[in-house]
Structure 1
Amino acid sequence: MEEHEDNLEGFVVPHRYVDSLLLQQFEIARASGLTLAAANTDEASMGRMLDQAQVSAWAKLKADQYKKPDVSQATTRNQYKPLTNPYEIRVLELEPGSPKDHLKCKLHHCTIEFEHTGTTYTQFALSTDNLTKPIWYTALSYRWGDPQPVRHITVDGYEMEITVPLFDALNHFRNSTHSIVMWIDQICINQEDKDEKSRQIPLMGRVYQHAINTLVWLGTSDAVTGQLFGLLNHAATELILDFSQLQIPDGLQQRGFPSANDKIWDDLWDLLDRPWFSRLWIIQEVALSRNAWVVCGGHSMSWSMLETACANLSAAGVSQWLQEKAPKEGSTDHCQRVVKLGTFGQEQSMNLLNRARESNCWDQRDKVYGLLGIIRASWVRVDYNRTYTVGRLYRDVAAQALQRHELILASALQSVDHDYNETLRPVTDCEHFARGVLPSWVADWSQPRQTAPLSDRTGVYGNPKAVGSNSILQRQISIHEDELHVKGRLFDTVVEMTEVMRKPDISYNDPQTSNKEVLVRCAEVAAKSTSYPGESSVSIFEAFWRTLVVNKDADNRQRAPSSFEEIFSLLLDESTGQHPSLSGQKYSKRQLQPPGKGRLELSNLSSRRPGAAFQELKTALRRALRNRRFAVTKKGYFGLVPYWTKQGDEVCMLNGCDVPYVIRRVGHEGSGQGVADSYRFHFLGECYIHGMMNEEVLEMKELELRELVLI
């Protein structure tokens, strides 16, 4: 990293990175030893970072166990010396040079087995040549990029190919006067040795925990990067004071932010949309790092500062506004994505597999392996050989997690969300399962979710006792090869449904045309019903509108508010051209007023208060309906069912789960486990059935509790 100066926000700072807000600083670890800047602390604290007495005692105990690497095994084809000890890793020393010099490096072997007793963090490795010698290193978190083209560097005298983004990073951070030490997966792990990769991947959690700091490299900067980092610093401090009073977008300038039409907002969205943020591996890299810094060209800020800025922008509504104006349809809320990254480390369970599905990686087995530093599931088999397929890994993980009670049935089945991609055709002709890729009850973690999950397992939908977190319910499941045996009740059958709603939406502009695919078509199916089943006096209209939002508010936390009913009633009549459109439809006092006398009309939905309620309804409806169908069951219930549902598919309640599921009966031969063929099913996914999400369903005596086999 060449020593030079950048002018940021009026401050002149050296290329030792400084967070101008917190006055923290960041420096890459030096080969010569630990510095205050790298440790980001004072002298007193730095003195406590290394308990030499503990290190010496440990080194004496381990001296005989650590073997010296066999140098003779290094060849001109493979410059790597073997890693002979369980906690042994390599770190890279990047030698000093000028920007035009060829990049020259050395590899050093060290161990991350030693950890301080007590509460002191251990942020160093120990040299395998001298177990009392600490090695301080910076862990690099970056985007690998495409495998081609490549750039060349020299490592221990041998030429090595690396990807362009990594080459750019090394060239940028190389210092002109001293060597720096980094851990970089692409270089420090022999990528051609599948067995070594299988042994090193489980250590990556420790690698980031033992690093003195972590460098998040977003790539090179451009003309506006400095302004963007200044904007984020401002967001981290200004909005936290009173973000609730900020009016978006009109009030931005009043709080010292650029105007709503300033291009810098688009540039900010582009910065947070850089490829690094969508990487799978960053989840554990961020979660486990003690001192992470985000660097883009010559500009930087601490990860905690970026996280605070994004949290404030999200809470103030700025990120939602940016998402809506983003040119790319279905754009992710980038601020929320940053905030959520900071929460992954708090959930050390198999549920993280579901949360990570939107992230990207080259090898889809890494959707599991890339989280092992957080999950710490030592029973997961790490195997990068081709014979161990993605499908087999996912099946093994799901089965073992269920059997070990590390994943409850409700969580396992909630994550099953079959992709409607035509190349997979997972359920329509059973090809996906017949090929042995995945059993129907196993989630395909390689694919993003097609629908929003229905259950939060808090009991809001129904019975909190049904969640099945106790061992009695968990013991009611068993797995035989690729079959999942569960206890459940067959409740109903799907008899009619709409087409799938891939991009559901509602509008008050030209409602008869714009709402035809959602409100009008769903209402046509619902209108065939004259009364709603169940003991409660629920009207067709109420059951209809609550079904379309799965009876949840815009935040997916509380029961759908009554304000939705008024807007639904108004939009429905304007969309169908009927009055009323459904049996039992209600009208508020405002709807019954004469025109011009305070009557609620479509034009009011663009005003502030009704408009806010309309936007909340729109959010709830989009989330609930995406890639689902509106359906009616044989008993007359309304519901939302998975994309692949057909007429005749059955609805069941399973012990240990708080939502119903759609399953399809199959006629395959039995497995010899004593279950009749007539109770073998393909699992299609969770569904919402209005009036069937409660404790009474679980206790219906006329419904026989059976063993159902999901294949």
Structure 2
Amino acid sequence: MAQMEALHAMRAFPQAASFLETLHHCRQRRCTNPRDKIYGMLGMEFKGRASCLQPNYDISVEQLFVDVAREQLEQTRTLDVLSCVVPGKRRTSLGIPSYVPDWTLMTKNILTHHLSVDHLMTLPHYNASGGFPAEFHIGPDNRALTKGIEIDRIEALGPACFFSDLASCGQAKDYVKEARRLAGLPGSPPESSEAASARELAFWRTLCGNLAVHVGEESRDWRAADPAVDYESYLQWSDIVNGVPSADPQLDDRPAFEDALVATLSARRFMRTGKGHFGMVAPDSRLGDVVMVLAGGRVPYVLHEEPGYETGNGLVTHSFIGDAYVDGFMYGECVGDDPEWMWLNLI
């Protein structure tokens, strides 16, 4: 019965999901031929445009996954497909570029997978590139040419955060404590949103991705965070998890903030840039990595420079690390009316 219910849920999901969302939602499912991670979805009904790919078992798995990424980039004119690259040390063993998702990779556990689905659902709430369409050209050698605007470089990083089960979500308070230290903030937040400094508010927005989530019986609905309501929820959560005597356990409002916090922290780490910007980045981000807004990206991205890689076009070459939340750069702030884009290579 459980298997039948799972199959029913799998068939029902695409009615409200795009092809990309369906691929990501179902990536924990196994198949004998890895090509069927893609081909097995082609006959379903999707929100938006369906894939035009045709089953071809003569091409390599690597080429198929590159073709999926190319089609998504061309169809959507966004970089949403880049957010499906599995973060962390379990990088792909396939010979594909760093910006191409490996659909054979599964996340560390089912909770991490569900939280990654949450993450994909939050993308439409952001507009980092200000509505500029993607200009992402994949060449014959699978090297990509794209353009972006540099925000800053990473100067400080907190520990990578992975939750194994619901009980482990209690560790979130330790990650928040370390993040406050890296942010140069006092050990405890202020008593109210009115008393919060601009940096305290930026820190709170970073913890929750500037979003709040309503958890229903069968859905999770995201909305923009409201400081008047959601900052108070954060303070209540902080008092409870840190055992503040004045915290009233009868007013335990932890889920209201904690759900957004856990979704934002999962498979991420807190970072501070050289200019003092706060953010959440992929776990394998490194000190000195560049944070950029790329044309067509709803969110910023972390890139790692590859100085010894010769491309012949004179542009700086990067490998893709992962997407990011960077407070102050999620709604087109760095783009403006006449942005100064720089061209770069991705491998």
SS at match of 1:647: coil
Which of 135, 139, 145 aligns to 1:485? It is: 145
CA contact (8 A) 2:302 2:323 kept: yes
Unaligned 5+ residue runs, structure 1? 1-270, 287-337, 427-431, 530-536, 579-594, 596-600
In structure 2, what is the Cα distance between the partners aligned to 1:398 and 1:357? 15
Q: Kindly indicate whether residue 181 of structure 2 is the aligned counterpart of residue 517 of structure 1.
A: no
1:411 aligns with 2:76: no
Task: Report the Cα distance in structure 1 between the residues aligned to 2:16 and 2:199, rounded to whole angstroms.
Answer: 43
Deviation at 1:362? 2.5
Query: Partner of 2:152: helix, strand, or coil?
Result: strand
Does structure 1 conserve the Cα–Cα contact (< 8 Å) formed by 2:88 and 2:282? no
Compared CA separation, residues 391 and 575, structure 1 to 2 (3 A): same
**1:675 match:** 314
Distance 2:266 2:259 in 1: 11
Letter in 2 for 1:621: L
**Does the alignment pair 1:368 with 2:38?**
yes
Decide whether aligned partners of structure 1 residues 370 and 412 sit closer, same or farther in structure 2, where only a CA change above 3 A counts. Answer: same
Corresponding residue for 2:335? Answer: 698
Partner amino acid for 1:439?
A: P
Contact 1:454-1:686 at 8 Å conserved across structures: no
2:237 and 2:254 in contact (8 A); partners too: no
* Alignment-derived partner of residue 324 in structure 2: 687
**Does the 8 Å contact 1:516/1:575 carry over to 2?**
yes
The separation in 2 between residues aligned to 1:644 and 1:411, in whole angstroms, is: 20
Q: d(CA) in 2 for partners of 1:688 and 1:372?
A: 32
Quick one: distance in 1 between partners of 2:18 and 2:239? 49
Q: Which amino acid aligns with 2:306?
A: V
Aligned-partner Cα distance in 2 for 1:353–1:467: 25
**2:130 is matched with which residue: 466, 480, 501?**
466
1:382 corresponds in structure 2 to: 56
Amino acid of the structure 2 residue aligned with 1:362: T
Distance 1:515 1:360, change over 3 A: closer
Please state how far the C-alpha of 1:389 moved relative to its aligned partner.
3.5
Q: What is the percentage of aligned positions where both structures have the same residue?
A: 24
Q: Which residue does the alignment assign to 1:554?
A: 213
Kept in 1: contact 2:87–2:267 (CA 8 A): no
- 1:526–1:396: structure 2 CA closer, same or farther, 3 Å change rule? same
Encode CA deviations 1:210-250: one digit per residue, 9 max, x unaligned: xxxxxxxxxxxxxxxxxxxxxxxxxxxxxxxxxxxxxxxxx
The counterpart of 2:98, out of the listed 433, 440, 450, is 440
Superposition TM-score, scaled by structure 1 size: 0.40
In 2, the alpha carbon distance for the partners of 1:372 and 1:412 equals: 17
State whether structure 2 residue 300 is matched by structure 1 residue 637: no
* C-alpha spacing 1:515/1:682, structure 2 compared with 1 (3 Å): closer
Q: Distance in 2 between matches of 1:656 and 1:515?
A: 32
1:614–1:350 distance in 2 versus 1, CA, 3 Å: closer
The amino acid of 1:675's aligned partner reads G
Which residue in 1 is equivalent to 2:159? 499
Structure 1 CA distance for aligned equivalents of residues 30 and 166 of structure 2: 31
- 2:163 aligns to what SS in structure 1? coil
Gaps of 5+ in 2: 187-195, 215-220
Quickly say closer, same or farther: Cα 1:342–1:552, change in 2 above 3 A. same
Aligned-partner Cα distance in 1 for 2:175–2:20: 35
CA–CA separation in structure 2 for the residues paired with 1:504 and 1:570: 25
- Deviation of the 1:704 alpha carbon: 3.5
1:277 and 1:398 map into 2 onto residues whose CA distance is: 31
Deviation at residue 688 of structure 1 after TM alignment: 0.4
| Post-superposition CA distance 1:585-643 (Å, at most 9, x none) | xxxxxxxxxx9xxxxx33x23x2xx33x3212121111111111011111111111001
Question: Is the contact between residue 143 and residue 345 of structure 2 (CA under 8 Å) also seen in structure 1?
Answer: yes
Deviation at 1:649, TM superposition (A): 0.7
Return the letter of the residue paired with 1:382: N
Separation in 2 of the partners of 1:350 and 1:691? Answer: 28
Q: Which amino acid aligns with 2:147?
A: K
Partner of 1:236: none
Residues 622 and 710 of structure 1: CA distance in aligned 2, closer, same or farther (over 3 Å): same
Q: Give the Å deviation of 1:365.
A: 1.4
What corresponds to 1:708 in structure 2? 344
What is the correspondence of 1:2-401 to structure 2 with a 5 Å cutoff?
271-272=1-2, 274=3, 338=9, 341-345=11-15, 347=17, 349-374=19-44, 377-383=51-57, 388-401=59-72
| Contact in 2 for aligned 1:515/1:575 (Cα 8 Å) | no
- Residue by residue, what CA displacement relative to the aligned partner does 1:410-435 show, whole Å, maximum 9, x if unpaired? 222222233533xx4x5xxxxx5xxx
Partner of 1:542: 201
Give the structure with higher Rg (CA).
1
Give 3-state SS (helix, strand or coil) of 2:154's partner. Answer: strand
Q: Does the 8 Å contact 1:488/1:652 carry over to 2?
A: yes
SS at match of 1:558: strand
> CA separation of 1:644/1:633 partners in 2, compared to 1, >3 Å: closer, same or farther?
same
Aligned-pair distance for 1:572? 3.7
**Which residue of structure 2 aligns with residue 36 of structure 1?**
none
Secondary structure (helix, strand or coil) at the match of 1:420 reads coil
User: How far off is 1:396 after superposition?
Assistant: 2.6
Q: Is the Cα–Cα contact under 8 Å of residues 504 and 621 in structure 1 kept in the other structure?
A: no
Measure the CA separation in 2 of the matches of 1:413 and 1:539: 31
Q: Secondary structure at the match of 1:496?
A: strand
Query: C-alpha separation between the residues in 2 aligned to 1:675 and 1:342?
Result: 49
Measured in 1, the distance between the counterparts of 2:256 and 2:185 equals: 28
AA aligned to 2:176 is: L
Aligned to 1:429: none
Change (3 A) 1:498 1:348: closer
Tell me: CA distance 1:553–1:504, structure 2 relative to 1, closer, same or farther (3 Å).
Answer: farther
Letter in structure 2 aligned against 1:541? E
CA distance in 1, matches of 2:176, 2:16: 40
1:406 is paired with a residue of what secondary structure?
helix
What residue identity is the alignment partner of 2:322?
A: G
- Is the Cα contact below 8 Å between 1:630 and 1:640 reproduced in 2? yes
Provide the TM-score with structure 2 as the length reference. Answer: 0.78
Classify 1:641/1:539 alpha carbon distance in 2 versus 1 (closer, same or farther; 3 Å).
Answer: same
- What secondary structure sits across from 2:211 in the alignment? coil
Compute the displacement of 1:377 (Å): 3.9
The alpha-carbon distance between structure 1 residues 614 and 354, as it changes in their structure 2 partners (threshold 3 A), is same
| Equivalent position of 2:232 in the other structure | 566
Distance 2:240 2:71 in 1: 53
